[in-house]
Structure 1
Amino acid sequence: MRLGFLIALLSLSGFSIATAQESGNSSAKPDLTKDLFAYVNKNCLHCHGEKEGKADVRLHSYKDELSIVKGRKVWEHVVDMVEAGEMPPKDKPQPMASDTTAFLAAVKGVFLRADQNAKPDPGRVTVRRLNRTEYNNTIRDLVGVDFNAAEDFPSDDVGHGFDNIGDVLTLSPVLMERYLAAAEGIMKRAIVVEVPKSPTRWQGGQYLEPAGGNVPKQKWRPISAKDETAQFTGPLHTQYQNLPPGEYQFRVRTYATTEGKEPVKVVVLAVGKELAEPDPVDRGANIVGGTKAFRSFKILKEFTVDAREDKKAQNLELDFTMPQGMDRMAVGLLKAADGEPLQTLHVENFALTGPKDMRPATQLKLLRCSPEKPQAEQTREVLLRFASRAYRRPATTAEVDRLCQLAEAALASGEKWEGAMQFAMQAVLVSPKFLFRLELDDRPQAAESRALDEFQLASRLSYFIWSSMPDDELFRLALKGQLSANLEPQVRRMLKDPRSVALYKNFAVQWLQLGRLQMHSPDKTLFKDFNDSLRQDMLRETELFFLAIVQEDRSILDLINADFTYLNERLGNHYGILDDTGTTWATKKNRPNRPKLPREEFVRVQLADDQRGGLLTMASVLTVTSNPTRTSPVKRGRWVLEQILGTPPPPPPPDVPELKESAELKGTLRERMAQHMANPACANCHAKMDPIGFAFENFDAVGKYRWEEEKQKIDPAGTLPDGQSFAGPAELKKIIQSKKELFGRNLAEKMLTYGLGRGLEYYDRPTIQKIVGGLAADDYKFSRLVIEIAKSEPFRNRRGKDPAK
């Protein structure tokens, strides 16, 4: 039994070909009628025929070799079950061993010939519209407006586990209406026709910082070197939040009093915690009161104050370009020379006006053009650039002509030029050439494989890795016809770009089925610590961990088991981890004290033991694979088989009740499951799922570690059908990690499906074999997986109609 299950796993992971090659002469073609179809008719169709179809498997429609190749996943499962001795069932007549051997050889021979003789076939991808995520990201990168423009769009349908599959991305009348409304709203944000006046931010002297109860409630705020208290020495300053970059004017109304003849001098400073190119600290040594209150500052200008009474107060005005990182303005009195009488500066108010150009940055970017050109040529220059980026290829002359005509019509109706550009760009945003990822084909009826053009390849690559449009570098290489030759370095560059977070948010979340966590509601009376903040922390941990695998180019096997994770204080408390070295309450006495985890910010934590580490023991995964009131070994085991190993069990028989509905089952969860498995209809599948699920039983329904259930010690040990035993999750993770080809194959299939936007077919089998081979040759590095997919036949090529049957 153990040997049979191992052979079945090897079969699913691609070793069936090697087995067939080693078993004899591959040119000796078995008699399919005698060895395969007769065997099926005699031993299989009474349970898996047209009427019965147990486990949702029906074999009656397979009449020839091609149909078996097309149904390869079904037949691989058949081989799995027969080799494991699970089919035919023990209570049915058993075929002769020689007949079973001939049957297995016949099926494997079909697979072998298919792989040896298969002509490269890239398949066909249904034209895809941008899904909601791709739409938002593309608007962000095209227009520069970063908000949830697709918030009101209908939800995208899911196919083959993902929401970017062309066959299910339909376009309803409601969605078309939302596209029109979104385009109008986007362009109104991006281009302002009536530019508002620059705002002035005014602050009276008594309300400037440093603040305190000792600040006099009067019009003029005095500062001098007479008193060492910060409120009376200055520098005076005030905060400005979320200032857009640009040109500003700062004005301070002031006068000075002194009995001396020396001029009174002041400085205006820009201040910010993250100020770009700050001045050295010693430049502030001559300012009364010093600059200790500021982490970094930059002296913008020095002024001489000539006014000596309030009636003759003067405005010190400064025009400046706001330094990057500035969030505060300050005015400081410079120290008088030694021996000089006391100088006092009196400040009435600060006033900051700007930015002088109130046009948004998006407008300056989108309407950038040669100022010396006539308006009509400026219109063409702007619309050619915008349409080419929006369509992800150079716009044709005819396309730009039509957009220019729209702009001219708007101008003729009395619109300003900015309004006309706004209107023409709205038309671009509702064009099918923007909304759909069109791969225009001059030979749509041709069945032979041919390469995508460079711009189509750039789009496939960018939407695969970034879920967004190509950037300037991809466009540049495509325009020069050099993208194909630079594919590997471009993939590596893109994976290190922050936009690669899309691989987590759009691929990994769907692959791992973590989207369900947002709606998951554990029982509040049983799990009092669970709340929305903890829910978001769970997702954040998984995101940062997955991105570390991607951007550090680690092995995909680290996804199964790793010695690090990311935690904040709240999630650390949930895990029982106190600091970034993995200290727990149990190990605290034996480890040096370290600063505790930050309250909100996530930091990388080096795990001190193998209790946690990897996706399988993360709270996000453990929670979505549980019921609201208890853990579910079945869900957890099934999740590992389906999402990690790619070997899902068949669906349960329709007449078997849920465990919770079986009131006669008593005892601990493991004991109740054992009684449930006494049903022969349940035992076969549960033997595969339950041992895996029970390995994680120490983690409760929200992923918190526990030692007991129902006051009984939890037993996480188990044995897999292939005979491998484990004592808990750490050992099981190592067993799963050792099945690296099986995991690599499953992840390759998932990611290729996501990258292509279509389900995989029988003719994609050689592509998967090649991807897995390349992955194994490069130590299973994440970048190699993405590179092999990007270089694959179906990713880089296309064909027209389906080839003749």
Structure 2
Amino acid sequence: MNTKTAFPLVCLFLLVAAERLHADDPYSPVQPFLNRYCVACHGATKQKGEVRLDDFAQIDGALWSDLYDQIHDASMPPEDARQPSSNERASIAQLVLQISRDEAFSIPTGYRRLNRREFRNTVRDLLGLKPGIYDPAGRVFKDEVDHGFDTNADELVISNELLLEYLESAEHSLRMALFLTDLQPPVTKVVAFKPGKLQSGDRRFTTNKKHSTVLRGSGQYSASESPRGVAISGYYRITVHAAGVDRNHYGNMKFPPVSGPIKMGIGTRLDSEGKQSTSNLAKSFDLLDDQFEVYSTVVWLEKGAYPWVGFLNGAGKPASSIRQAIRQRKVDPKEISPENYNGPGVEVTRFSLEGPLDPQWPPPTYRTIFQTDEMPDFEKAEVRAQLMQRFLTRAFRRPATDQDVRDYLDYLDQQYQRTSDWQEAFIKTFAAAMASHDFLYIKEEIGQLPPLELASRLSYFLWSTMPDAELFQLARSGRLLDADVYSAQVERMLGDPRTDEFVHGFATQWLSLDLLGTMPPDIKDRRYSAYHKQNYETAFRNETLHFFRHVLFENQPVGDFLDSDYSIINDTLANVYNLPFDGGSEFQRVSLPKASLRGGLLGHGSILALTSNGVETLPVTRGHWILDELLGTPPPAPPEEVPALVPDLNGVDTPRDQLVRHRRDPACFECHKRMDPLGLALENFDVIGRYRAAYETGATIDPAGQIFGTKFQNVTELRKLLRTQQDPFAKSLIIKLAEYAKGRRLNRRDLEIVDQVAAKSKQDEHRFQSMLRHLLASELLLHR
């Protein structure tokens, strides 16, 4: 029986239902029906998919909902099992539907912890920190979410250790924002670092001269003198005077770059105590050979960050190349050695940092945190109370109560008694507030969401962060509940760049893009060397995110995810996919040739790579991915007594033959007859998504199969069949969007509203942004 493993819920209706079944009530026919058609596979001695149906007391609300779907859609019993009559099926489905509806009363009050993404974004917005190389969540463990999205309240548990990490992260972030040691306006200065003393990790590839440094290795070179990090956050101008040198130093023995310009990079780096340093490339430049020019860029530097300069396209391992050339007697070891490498490089004769540029007073972070255009006078008690009330209101995403303010003012006074420093006391106090449940948790009451809770629901769904000032003010006034005002806010927020957080947060998890790169091909395997050298992984991920973004913001039908006559690619992907392309590294929408293999998500390298293991393709995994992530109809977990599918090629030429053998086990047949045709249809794509007509053994690949009772010959025909399922696919997508937004699994009453949203969406051809608007205007998003 195709249903998800049930999980326990505290459901009052179950007790009521159990009592009724012992009496003569309308629900009495349900158990005999289950005994007749289901218990043989889901009873005391056998539980396919870990589902048991012989005892009402063990059937929870989620399973009742799944039971209705199975009975109503005639998905159960299996085709080869005894079948109920259509009348019997219809009457029992109505009874199960009535039971599953009562599940709505079991919804608990919403109480969900911010996930790591939301914590990072909320801290930045609360403190006015810019998205730079500093990560406010860098000290927080990654969320361990096994089921659903990272917004799932049941998965977002907390511990004492995690709470301490939040406290440490909050305090460190506040120190990054409140960085002034004395409350004096900053002054723009120019710091010229000594150009002859730049250093990186490997000195073998560095030539330090009296007035310059030649960068020959791939490291990030920075000043050796201290302090090199800035004391005040702000925008800074990094200036470098440089040229490409020594390209032909070794005559006929060439080192990269053999052709094309020598590329120099300018970037920023931030060292963290006890943590890994973080670094960003700000800009790259093509240098002239032996002709010095001035290159500069303006960047945002957080407190403690410093600039670096690097040689971007030099030899990755020149020492290894030299040793190999010596062994092959191509060069004289007296003329060249690994310890004295003088190949192509970037020579820097000036390296300076100017800033902060256009300094503001108070600094922007102070303005954001204290909500004032003047540096506050911490000595005045009434000022401290105002500052506390403003900060707590923004941090808690609701008006701070008088008790909130008194409690935190008491703590502020305690901290001042310890430090005699009001700024330090505020840092400690605000950090405590940011580690409290009022900050870390999103709270929702059952029923229609009040305006403040609705504002948070909307903001965390679309932006993964706290409501901004406009949304918060409309919520405080109550005007957000006005349908026209709410609709206008939805339009404003959809048009805001912060919606990119929704694109990354939802798409990455829905399509399992977070698994991409967990099992890459062996870097030493020459068959897949281009995957690593050309950075296919990044290109694959970006293609899928660009495609998702295009379907959403261009308001295309969601069926484009199943099949499309276009894709969003760059030159790297055009090479992988063997497609005509006139563009460069920037992603562009391109029309695909007729009968192309690449339309829709099934042609994306990201999907094909993440459903492989880096060594071989996995048809079962690919088929399961299509059923689960794409169609929203996952097969049940295999029974415990069924061993895992392992390669057994005795008398077997292809994966298709192996799967035919595996399906001979009756316990495997039901699921594999659905998964295998889908996965085998993708066998023309190797582990990194390249097309192939045959296996390395020489056996021809047969992608043909059957789905929905219709045969297909290849993946192009499969995609067309999947496109005919746009209606159920749209419903599945609405469910996933709602569960991502609500932070819980939907119940039967929710699914009835899903049907209403899907019906409205169908009138718009299931265009993605229109669908999203219908969802946002429905009770699914307006209610708990």
Residue 287 of structure 1: aligned partner? none
Residue 627 of structure 2: aligned partner? 641
Residue 487 of structure 1: aligned partner? 486
Alpha-carbon distance, 1:245 to partner = 6.2
Paired residues for 1:121-520 under 5 Å: 123-145=107-129, 146=131, 147-158=134-145, 160-195=147-182, 198=187, 200-201=189-190, 355=357, 360-369=363-372, 371=374, 375-411=380-416, 415-439=420-444, 450-485=447-482, 486-520=485-519
Higher mean Cα deviation, 481-490 or 372-381? 372-381
Aligned partners of 1:160 and 1:759 also within 8 Å: no
Tell me how far apart the structure 1 counterparts of residues 624 and 155 of structure 2 sit (CA, whole Å). Answer: 26
Q: SS at 2:150's partner residue?
A: coil
Residue 549 of structure 1: aligned partner? 551
Alpha-carbon distance, 1:752 to partner = 1.3
Aligned partners of 1:538 and 1:619 also within 8 Å: yes
- Mark the CA change 1:87 to 1:160 in structure 2 (over 3 Å): closer, same or farther: farther
Aligned partners of 2:42 and 2:54 also within 8 Å: yes
Higher mean Cα deviation, 744-753 or 375-384? 375-384
Describe the superposition over 1:565-611 as per-residue Cα deviations: whole angstroms up to 9, x where unpaired. 333333332222342xxxxxxxxxxxxxx4x422xx43333333432
Tell me how far apart the structure 1 counterparts of residues 170 and 721 of structure 2 sit (CA, whole Å). Answer: 52
Tell me how far apart the structure 2 counterparts of residues 422 and 358 of structure 1 sit (CA, whole Å). Answer: 19
Aligned partners of 2:62 and 2:747 also within 8 Å: no
Aligned partners of 1:144 and 1:190 also within 8 Å: yes
Aligned partners of 2:68 and 2:93 also within 8 Å: no
Gaps of 5+ in 1: 10-29, 89-93, 208-216, 219-240, 249-292, 298-348, 442-448, 580-593, 799-805
Residue 779 (structure 1) aligned with residue 765 (structure 2)? yes
- Mark the CA change 1:113 to 1:614 in structure 2 (over 3 Å): closer, same or farther: same
Residue 569 of structure 1: aligned partner? 571
Residue type matched to 2:122 in 1? T
Aligned partners of 1:477 and 1:483 also within 8 Å: yes
Alpha-carbon distance, 1:357 to partner = 6.1
Alpha-carbon distance, 1:428 to partner = 2.1
- Mark the CA change 1:510 to 1:407 in structure 2 (over 3 Å): closer, same or farther: same
- Mark the CA change 1:357 to 1:247 in structure 2 (over 3 Å): closer, same or farther: farther
Gaps of 5+ in 2: 4-23, 197-209, 212-229, 238-292, 298-350
Residue 619 of structure 1: aligned partner? 605
Describe the superposition over 1:610-655 as per-residue Cα deviations: whole angstroms up to 9, x where unpaired. 3212222211111111233221221111111111222222333434
Aligned partners of 2:180 and 2:232 also within 8 Å: no
Tell me how far apart the structure 2 counterparts of residues 350 and 33 of structure 1 sit (CA, whole Å). Answer: 80
Tell me how far apart the structure 1 counterparts of residues 148 and 352 of structure 2 sit (CA, whole Å). Answer: 58
Q: SS at 1:399's partner residue?
A: helix
Q: SS at 1:604's partner residue?
A: strand
Tell me how far apart the structure 1 counterparts of residues 501 and 352 of structure 2 sit (CA, whole Å). Answer: 44
Residue type matched to 1:200 in 2? K
- Mark the CA change 1:464 to 1:159 in structure 2 (over 3 Å): closer, same or farther: farther
Alpha-carbon distance, 1:143 to partner = 0.9
Tell me how far apart the structure 2 counterparts of residues 78 and 350 of structure 1 sit (CA, whole Å). Answer: 72
Aligned partners of 1:625 and 1:639 also within 8 Å: yes
Residue 85 of structure 2: aligned partner? 100
Aligned partners of 1:149 and 1:186 also within 8 Å: yes
Describe the superposition over 1:208-228 as per-residue Cα deviations: whole angstroms up to 9, x where unpaired. xxxxxxxxx99xxxxxxxxxx
Residue 684 (structure 1) aligned with residue 670 (structure 2)? yes
Aligned partners of 2:124 and 2:136 also within 8 Å: no
Residue 69 of structure 2: aligned partner? 76
Which of 608, 615, 626 is equivalent to 2:593? 608
Alpha-carbon distance, 1:474 to partner = 0.8
- Between the aligned residues of both structures, percent identity stands at 31
Residue type matched to 2:118 in 1? E
Describe the superposition over 1:218-269 as per-residue Cα deviations: whole angstroms up to 9, x where unpaired. 9xxxxxxxxxxxxxxxxxxxxxx99976899xxxxxxxxxxxxxxxxxxxxx
Q: SS at 1:45's partner residue?
A: coil
- Mark the CA change 1:742 to 1:31 in structure 2 (over 3 Å): closer, same or farther: farther
CA RMSD of aligned residues (A): 4.1
Residue type matched to 1:469 in 2? M
- Mark the CA change 1:774 to 1:472 in structure 2 (over 3 Å): closer, same or farther: same
Query: Which TM-score applies when normalising by structure 1?
Result: 0.68
Tell me how far apart the structure 1 counterparts of residues 681 and 176 of structure 2 sit (CA, whole Å). Answer: 53
Describe the superposition over 1:36-60 as per-residue Cα deviations: whole angstroms up to 9, x where unpaired. 5334334432332122113333220
Greater Rg, structure 1 or structure 2?
1
Q: SS at 2:464's partner residue?
A: coil
Alpha-carbon distance, 1:202 to partner = 5.9
Residue type matched to 1:782 in 2? F
Describe the superposition over 1:319-373 as per-residue Cα deviations: whole angstroms up to 9, x where unpaired. xxxxxxxxxxxxxxxxxxxxxxxxxxxxxx9996755668753124323536598
Query: Which TM-score applies when normalising by structure 2?
Result: 0.70
Say how many residue pairs are matched: 614
Aligned partners of 2:371 and 2:390 also within 8 Å: no
Describe the superposition over 1:156-199 as per-residue Cα deviations: whole angstroms up to 9, x where unpaired. 23254112211222221111111221121111110024148646
Alpha-carbon distance, 1:718 to partner = 1.7
Q: SS at 2:636's partner residue?
A: coil
Alpha-carbon distance, 1:713 to partner = 3.4
Residue type matched to 1:682 in 2? C
Tell me how far apart the structure 2 counterparts of residues 699 and 163 of structure 1 sit (CA, whole Å). Answer: 30
Tell me how far apart the structure 2 counterparts of residues 350 and 678 of structure 1 sit (CA, whole Å). Answer: 71
Aligned partners of 2:117 and 2:464 also within 8 Å: yes
Higher mean Cα deviation, 515-524 or 734-743? 515-524
Residue type matched to 1:454 in 2? P
Tell me how far apart the structure 2 counterparts of residues 119 and 652 of structure 1 sit (CA, whole Å). Answer: 28
Tell me how far apart the structure 2 counterparts of residues 420 and 296 of structure 1 sit (CA, whole Å). Answer: 40
Aligned partners of 1:150 and 1:182 also within 8 Å: yes
